[in-house]
Amino acid sequence: MSQFDVCVIGAGPGGYVAAIRCAQLGLKTAVVEREKLGGVCLNVGCIPSKAMISAASMLHRMQHDASEMGLEFSGNVKVNMPKLKSWKQSVCDRMSGGVEQLLKGNGVDIIAGEAEFTSPTQLKVKGSDSTKSIEAKNFIVATGSRPIEIPGFAYDEKTVLSSTGALDLDKMPKSVVVIGGGYIGLEIGGYLAKLGAEVDVLEANDALLKGVAEKDVVQVVAKNLKKHGVKVHLKAMAKEYKKSGSGVEVKAEVNGESKTFKAEKILVTVGRKPNSDQMNLKGIGLNIDERGFIKTDAQRRTSHPNIFAIGDIACQPMLAHKASHEGVMVAEIIAGQNRVYDAKTVPAVIFTDPEIASAGLLESEAKDRGFTDLKIAKFPFAANGKAVSLMETDGFVKMIADAKTNVVLGVHIVGPEASNLISEAALAIEMGATLEDIALTIHPHPTLGETMMEAAEATLGHAIHVIQKTRK
């Protein structure tokens, strides 16, 4: 039986980070992974989807923006799907290989196979040709989540696709019905539309990204989806499908009326669920809530003090960077440091066109928490020189602050490079910054980052590059 100070189960963005930090702190560490190092994020999620979005955006700009800039092509720009898929896979393989090098370089034992607890201090790992027994003083469960299936739409990854199947297509489908207008559906549906597919999105709610992003932020994305030919159907419930010729017919109830949508493929993106029904977690007495999350305290300890849970399997939000943060934290707790999870905000990004990013409170959340007197203003990308030079002027930076103290409560961005701009907002909220802290910080020109400074000035009521009134 192999013995370790720490055994991490799952080598995704939470698990591999936790394993590396444990090893750095002098703990004898192993990581168990049943599939590929890097987990869902690196192999079938965040990284491949961003690679495909990047390629689709480049194609779209070549087809629609290049001529306006004076760049002319002879002949059409074509999509070579096998080569695109190969390039996407090379990106994933490079990242996964990097994780392996980091783990080995830090002295972490990598064990391939399916883990199952036999007791709170032991587990067995079934590999391709043998089974190993492992004993550890501490375990970190970081086994993530998987796509939710809905009745009547079982995944076969040929006709009915999960996000995994949609990121591994050999041939570009002519048409796709996307069930679910959340961030995964809009990201994948958006890039498929740019690559030439006809896309219908069926969303059960009366709005896209309801409760996830500010309404005015979503409106910008919804407008662009329409411009790119994506048809969004709200209050739409998919009921069943049947094969029809080389494609499918999806029956749905839209606003109380029965409608049929014809397509070549179906993509189901209605959310993800924790993998807490695996590894005999209940068998060893771990407490799991009604949503499938392992119950933990502020240090991510479970009902067994030597077993920790991080990432998607522990709690919302299901985001890679939150899992990585928890991984470092738990490693340091095991090593004897006094830490708890006390982040003020976990920034979130949706890679639509344009991108959406947020940190802190939504306007409605701020009011629910008792902030009845707010300062709120926007600064548009159309007034930013760098955005104009990029021909990407849709969107704005929206800032929300407590009117009594000017402390920044929330920042919501829709526009170019929102994913990169939001880090400044996350730092500001984490450190309790005021509007003046951002407005009086000199930002370089010409950059998209200036929009943060300008938004702070606008929220204070004295914007320079836009005529505005502060809304309370």
Cα–Cα nearest to 396, from 222, 227, 220, 224: 220
Instruction: Determine the angle formed by the axes of helices 320-334 and 15-24, rounding to 10 degrees.
Output: 30
CB atoms within 10 A of CB 268: 26
**Assigned token pair, 188:** 């994948």
Only one residue has tokens 């760098």, namely 386
Our answer to whether residue 60 is catalytic in this structure is no
**Assigned token pair, 165:** 């199947």
Alpha carbons 134 and 215: distance in angstroms, whole number: 50
Only one residue has tokens 């836009």, namely 466
**Assigned token pair, 45:** 């999620």
Cα–Cα nearest to 438, from 360, 370, 321, 363: 360
Cα–Cα nearest to 425, from 456, 403, 465, 464: 456
Cα–Cα nearest to 180, from 311, 42, 272, 246: 272
Bridge-based pairing of strands 29-33 and 109-112 is parallel
Alpha carbons 253 and 266: distance in angstroms, whole number: 16
Cα–Cα nearest to 1, from 122, 142, 179: 122
Among residues 412, 445, 462, 465, the one annotated as catalytic is 445
For residue 173, cis peptide bond before it (omega within 30 degrees of 0):
no
Phi, psi dihedrals of residue 188, rounded to the nearest 5°? -70, -45
Residues carrying an active site annotation? 445
